[in-house]
Structure 1
Amino acid sequence: MSDSPILPEDETVPRDEVVRLAAQFIEDAQTRADVLALLAFAELLRDVPARVSEPLLGDIRYTWWVEALEEIRDGRKVRYHPLSAALSGVAERHALDMQVLIDAIEPHRLQLDGRLSLRDALSVADKGQAAVLAQAARVLAPTADAACLLIPARFHTLATMKVAGRLNANEAGAEEGRHLYREARQSVKRVPSALLPLVLPTAVAADLWQGRVRSALSVRLKLLWVFVTGRI
């Protein structure tokens, strides 16, 4: 695991400490920075509702990012934000499919309507978050099949949204959590070692779902164990 510092106030990295810790298993510094920029973008999309005072402002933010990514896609001058600048560099270095990232924004707008049904939350997770994660996989291992990331990404996204109070409590109970976790455990076994840093946060998502809090040391040890064994 790399010991290079990551500043949580940097808008080109995720605020989620577990995601940042997972990325430390990526040895190459530039590759790690590129992956973190994509993960920060995924986090930004997921957390827009928590950063605005009313849905219209959230809709404006999503539209701003659609237009920024279209500028990157089309090779035009890109409107400035630390993250848009970082994503422009990532796209250039790794030939990202910008249309996939653009399309990933739309399902996140569902969050602006209030607490989500499980069906809508799955749309956010599968069509939004997992789509961005698949582009991060292209950075880490261009020839790897990113389809194996879908179910682990789904569980981590739903657990995070549950903690934030964005899921309908009647549809996100303990039984559903156990079912999603079993699926995630099986799927992680099929994730190539090169892509494991992208699914390591799933290892502690069960704690999120159940409202448990691990110590910082326990989180680090859990991530290390999953990275070494490929199992959660």
Structure 2
Amino acid sequence: MADTETLDDLVRRVDPDRWLASRFIADPAARADVIALYGFNYELARVAGGVSNALMGEIRLTWWREAMEEIAAGKPPRKHPNVEAIAASGIDPLALATLVEARFDDLDEAPPADEGRALAYVDGTAGALAVLAARRLDPSADPHAVKGAARAYGLAGLWRLKLAGRSRLPEDWTQADLARRVADQLKVARRELKGLPVAAFPAVAPAALAGAYARGRDPGELEKKARLTWSVATGLI
């Protein structure tokens, strides 16, 4: 993060889908908190790709976990823009410490052995992130209402990661396998999302892009904006 780059600028650069969806959050304070959450997720997600061995990754992830535990204990936040933003937010730091724990799986060179483990990883990362964002936007949001949407977007994201050489999917999955599973999760999501409060919908709106990603297509910015606008306006993905 450059000295002149704000947290919002960072998320716009490294997580453009979620950043675009956050533009539909009307309340500035809630939007800032969700951006802090997405920035935190980026810091965790990039650990595995930025270290030369698992021990260094464990040290970095432990730093983030301890930073969240210190906030929960009432201690001053560590001097890091994202830690300070989290400390000032309405997001539970202990829930973020749990999100850190899920990221230790990133340091395992072996990909998940089967679908169950792959979905557990997605639920602990993209799923937990969506739940935290949804509950910040509406405390009454049911975690089960976001599960399918988060799985669809999370699985599609893992396929893109696999193409970049860092697989967190079972080795025998083909793109067709992945696309079928994403389509199945989107069907589930369309039923679940009927119970999600309108205010919380930006937390799951990026799932509207999951089908295209799973089919190997990266929508351009204009298409992304159109899909996300339609999704938020209709409450559908």
TM-score range, shorter chain: 0.7 to 0.9
2:154 counterpart residue number: 157
2:172 counterpart residue number: 170
**2:106 aligned with 1:111, yes or no?**
yes
For normalisation by structure 1, the TM-score amounts to 0.86
Structure 1 contact 55–112 (Cα < 8 Å) conserved: yes
Amino acid at match of 1:168: P
1:3 counterpart residue number: none
Amino acid at match of 2:176: A
CA deviations 1:7-64 (Å, max 9, x no partner) are 6784566721111101000012221111111122223323321232322221111100
1:227 counterpart residue number: 232
For normalisation by structure 2, the TM-score amounts to 0.84
Cα RMSD after superposing both structures: 2.3
2:222 counterpart residue number: 217
CA deviations 1:91-112 (Å, max 9, x no partner) are xxx2x33322212211211111
Q: Say if 1:182 and 1:231 are closer, same or farther in 2 by CA, change over 3 A.
A: farther
> Displacement of 1:115 after TM fit?
4.8
Q: Say if 1:155 and 1:104 are closer, same or farther in 2 by CA, change over 3 A.
A: same
Q: Distance in 2 between matches of 1:12 and 1:162?
A: 21
CA deviations 1:176-225 (Å, max 9, x no partner) are 43233232243244232211101111111222222212121111111111
CA deviations 1:113-165 (Å, max 9, x no partner) are 12522443322221233223222222211122232112211221221122111
Q: Distance in 1 between matches of 2:170 and 2:181?
A: 17
2:74 counterpart residue number: 75
Q: Say if 1:86 and 1:14 are closer, same or farther in 2 by CA, change over 3 A.
A: farther
* 1:1-232 matches, cutoff 5 A: 10-11=9-10, 15-90=14-89, 94=90, 96-117=91-112, 118-165=115-162, 166=167, 167-171=169-173, 173-188=175-190, 189-190=193-194, 191-232=196-237
Q: Say if 1:219 and 1:115 are closer, same or farther in 2 by CA, change over 3 A.
A: farther
Structure 1 contact 14–43 (Cα < 8 Å) conserved: no
Structure 1 contact 110–120 (Cα < 8 Å) conserved: no
Secondary structure at the counterpart of residue 170 of structure 1: coil
Bigger Cα displacement from structure 2, 162-171 vs 62-71: 162-171
Q: Say if 1:102 and 1:231 are closer, same or farther in 2 by CA, change over 3 A.
A: same
Secondary structure at the counterpart of residue 144 of structure 1: coil
Amino acid at match of 1:158: L
Structure 1 contact 11–82 (Cα < 8 Å) conserved: no
- Identity level (%): 33
Q: Distance in 2 between matches of 1:44 and 1:133?
A: 16
Q: Which runs of 5+ in 1 are unaligned?
A: 1-5
Bigger Cα displacement from structure 2, 48-57 vs 27-36: 48-57
Q: Which runs of 5+ in 2 are unaligned?
A: none
> Displacement of 1:229 after TM fit?
1.5
Secondary structure at the counterpart of residue 47 of structure 2: helix
Q: Say if 1:14 and 1:135 are closer, same or farther in 2 by CA, change over 3 A.
A: farther
